[in-house]
Structure 1
Amino acid sequence: MSQNPFDLGGVIVATTLAFKEDPSAPGGLAVDYDKFAEHCNWLIENGCRGVGPNGSLGEYSSLTDEERRRVVQVAVEAVDGRGLVVAGAHGVGWHQAQHWARLAKEDGADGVLLLPPIVYRANTDEILEHYRRVSEVGLPIMAYNNPIDTKVDLTPDIVEQLAEIENVVAIKEFSGDVRRVMEINDRCDIDVIAGADDLLFESLVAGAVGWFAGYPNVFPREAVELYELVTKGDIAGAKALYEQLVPVFRWDSRTEFVQAIKLSIDVAGNSFGGRTRPPRGPLSPEHEKAVREETQRALDALAARD
């Protein structure tokens, strides 16, 4: 564990967002704030450290400005001080990201998750300026490396420079290269957070101190157990549990991850997943069949443990 004054370790769930049918709403779907609040509460009651509204899994880019702000407010109300709320503050430029970070702070979030500039392929100086400007808001920042979607790679040398910026306390690593966990830890004092569910076990063993990703939306209790097994040194026990979950976890690294995780929630039946807003459409019949089968296999394996 680093010496950061504010750590973002543990299992923080990048929350899905519930919608309900409404022909007058964007894409024919209105945000179902009540179901979203219930989902956040359920995650906290099942031992998660916190929730992360307005990430890519929360479909932030498909929300109106009013919806995007209200989602954070609802998450803060639902968590009610029992855990952390780490709100996505992503924006094309630092001025947009700073705006969302200010609103998150005003509405009671504990920290922000922050991609580098989205859409525009920023250079290193622009990336560092982006994080410096958002740091001025005063909330702890978990930087987010997702070169698959942003086309900007926060390589370990850039992360080392980000770690020098006040309030940048963690990096969510989603490059798919587990070697980076140790390299970042060697270079600087910043918390490395596992971002890919299907590299969770390997990342924790290599030195990641937290998990901020999607499938804890479906398996929160088991996610916390898996995290705690590794941190307590029970590697064999953690590996055995991980092996039961990783086949369905692999959907977290695929293009259809939002639809897949929402469907898995519905298959598990403990919360509400539902539809996605455009531009995300429904899963293909083949993908839906695979997600259902892999989710059910995981549920059956977990039931056999109890």
Structure 2
Amino acid sequence: MKLEGSMVALVTPFSDGKVDYDALGRLIDFQIENGTQVLVPCGTTGESPTLDYAEHDKVIEYTVQRAAGRVPVIAGTGSNNTVEAVQLTAHAKNSGAVASLIVMPYYNKPTQHGMVEHVKRIADVGLPIVLYNIPGRCGVELTPETVVQMYNEIELVVAIKEATGRLDVASQIAASCDITILSGDDSLTLPICSVGGSGVISVLGNILPAEIRKLCDYITNFDMADACTQHLKLFPLIKAMFIETNPIPIKSAMAMAGMMKDEFRLPLTPLSEKYRPSLAAMLKEFGVNCK
């Protein structure tokens, strides 16, 4: 399986406390029409911790059905409970997802051996796995050595979403094995791809999918001068997406642009008012008019 280019970690729209499937459908179509190559529902950006299991399954199922074969879907199915991760992954497989995105178990802080065994058990489902290494949220970090071990020992481990924020980690992995490396930070897409990465699972792509696709195309075509120009053009807005915890800024920005309601599930809350004028001004520079 070849995973590359512009992939977007979809937000999950809500309306009156429920998943807003009309808004989600519009978002999926918007992504595909603007060049997104892979859809990734039910990850961090999709507020997966506050989706119940029925909702989680349905969002993945709906995304696959709405995409209708136009682009593949990688389903976020991670959990810090291995049995639950297996169940979510099995449903994603049955729904037609091409791979699962498996975050390392959070809060219970397993050892490296525990993470290997966790992934092995999920691999028994028979769906390709994209490892998700984001220690800032999980409290544990998948070491490059363990990534190499998983890639060599678990046939269905095909890629890693690298979100440590450290280029050294991607470099060490790329130097040690042939696993597909995907940037988990929009700000590091160009640097990670310059050392062997293949693309990005983007947050900013929710609202500017064509701009993220343009960056990825420049990289794929080895047009590094234009890639650098595009990276620097996007960089201030990329950083603005993290003025508060992701997905608060991106989702509120999309609400400001009329794409969905500005609704979250607690403990997340809408973007603070003090940040909204500057964010709206930045988006306007890209042709996004905010209310």
TM-score, structure 1 normalization: 0.89
- State the superposition RMSD in angstroms: 1.6
Worse overlay, 201-210 or 67-76: 201-210
Query: Deviation of residue 234 (structure 1)?
Result: 1.0
Cα offset, 1:202, TM superposition? 1.4
User: Is 1:134 the equivalent of 2:122?
Assistant: yes
1:88 maps to a residue whose letter is G
- The residue number in structure 1 matching 2:193 is 204
2:234 is the alignment partner of 1:245: yes
CA pair 189-273 structure 1, distance change in 2 beyond 3 A: farther
Identify the match of residue 224 of structure 2 among 229, 235, 238.
235
Pick aligned residue for 2:184 from 195, 200, 204: 195
Equivalent residue letter for 1:96: E
Partner amino acid for 1:239?
A: C
Among 276, 280, 290, which residue is 2:268 paired with? 280
Residue type of the alignment partner of 1:167: L
Correspondence for 1:26: none
1:273–1:170 distance in 2 versus 1, CA, 3 Å: farther
**TM-score where L is the length of structure 2:** 0.94
Match of 1:171 in 2: 160
Separation (CA, whole Å) in 1 of partners of 2:257 and 2:197: 28
* Matched ranges for 1:1-306 at <5 A: 6-21=1-16, 29-164=17-152, 165-253=154-242, 255-269=244-258, 271-272=259-260, 274-299=262-287
Structure 1: runs of 5+ lacking an equivalent: 1-5, 22-28, 301-306
Partners in 2 of 1:20 and 1:138 — Cα distance? 35
CA–CA distance in 1 between the matches of 2:18 and 2:252? 18
Total equivalences in the alignment: 287
Give, in angstroms, the shift of residue 89 of structure 1. 0.7
**Identity %, equivalent residues:** 30
Cα distance in 2 for residues equivalent to 1:256 and 1:292: 18
Quote how far apart the aligned CAs of 1:267 are.
4.2
Q: 1:183 to 1:169 in 2, by over 3 A?
A: same
Residues of 1 paired with 2:36 and 2:185: CA distance? 17
Runs of 4+ in 1 over 3 A off after TM superposition: 251-255, 266-269, 297-300
Which amino acid in the other structure matches residue 118 of structure 2? Answer: H
Structure 2: tracts of 5 or more residues without a match:
none
Q: Deviations over 1:40-65 (max 9, x none)?
A: 12101211111111001101111122
How far residue 222 of structure 1 moved from its aligned partner, in angstroms, is 1.1
